[in-house]
């Protein structure tokens, strides 16, 4: 007998029921510019990424998430912003930034894989964004944290 009697079917925890919404929003009546977003069929992976991205936004005063129950794939995200923005717009910006980052990482990976397939090695020049680095909110802070160029004659060894 296994100890997983109460554990729900894994597939069913990721599917939405008929008429069930993936996202629900409720404004906080006690705190100005605050709202709670409930995301169904999601877990710590998305919750932590959204929280981290929201905290990079200069208009966000607070961002946190919780997984109310470990057997349910539902996360609750609380966002409070200053008067320059609202929580829904902050969440939209964070989602868009995460999408852009993911696409950028995918492109860099594909470029590196193509370089390796062509025998150029992982240190071959890969086109970098013309903006001078990743700057998520256009405030100039992201571009200042660029990684310096590597010396291609450093003698690195790669096992692929």
Query: What per-residue confidence (pLDDT) applies to 138?
Result: 65
Closest CA to 98 of 144, 57, 41: 57
Query: What per-residue confidence (pLDDT) applies to 139?
Result: 64
Query: What per-residue confidence (pLDDT) applies to 107?
Result: 94
CB 143 within 8 A of CB 131: yes
Window from 31-35, 92-96, 144-148 with minimum mean pLDDT: 144-148
Chain segment 43-89, per-residue pLDDT in tens: 888 999 999 999 999 999 999 999 988 878 889 999 999 999 999 99
What is the Cα–Cα distance from 12 to 72, expressed in whole angstroms? 10
What is the Cα–Cα distance from 28 to 134, expressed in whole angstroms? 33
Q: Which CATH number fits domain 11-118: 3.40.50.2300, 3.30.70.20, 3.40.366.10, 3.30.1360.10?
A: 3.30.1360.10
What is the Cα–Cα distance from 137 to 135, expressed in whole angstroms? 6
Query: What per-residue confidence (pLDDT) applies to 140?
Result: 61
Query: What per-residue confidence (pLDDT) applies to 154?
Result: 46
Chain segment 106-151, per-residue pLDDT in tens: 999 999 988 888 888 666 655 555 555 666 666 665 544 444 444 4
Query: What per-residue confidence (pLDDT) applies to 150?
Result: 44
pTM equals: 0.66
Query: What per-residue confidence (pLDDT) applies to 13?
Result: 65
Query: What per-residue confidence (pLDDT) applies to 149?
Result: 47
Going across the sheet that includes 23-27, the strands are 23-27, 34-40, 74-81, 60-66
Window from 19-28, 35-44, 71-80 with minimum mean pLDDT: 19-28
């Amino acid at each position: 007998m296994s100890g997983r009697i109460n554990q729900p079917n894994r597939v069913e925890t990721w599917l939405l029921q008929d008429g069930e919404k993936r996202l629900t929003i409720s404004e906080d009546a006690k705190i100005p510019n605050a709202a709670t977003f409930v995301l169904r069929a999601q877990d710590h992976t998305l919750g932590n990424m959204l929280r981290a991205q929201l905290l990079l936004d200069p208009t966000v005063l607070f961002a946190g998430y919780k997984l109310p129950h470990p057997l349910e794939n539902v996360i609750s995200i609380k966002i409070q912003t200053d008067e320059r923005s609202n929580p829904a717009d902050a969440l939209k910006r964070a989602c868009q930034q995460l999408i852009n980052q993911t696409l950028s990482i995918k492109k860099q990976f594909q470029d590196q894989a193509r370089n390796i397939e062509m025998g150029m090695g992982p240190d071959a020049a890969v086109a970098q964004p013309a903006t001078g680095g990743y700057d998520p909110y256009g405030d100039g802070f992201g571009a200042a944290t660029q990684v310096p160029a590597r010396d291609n004659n450093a003698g690195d060894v790669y096992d692929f």
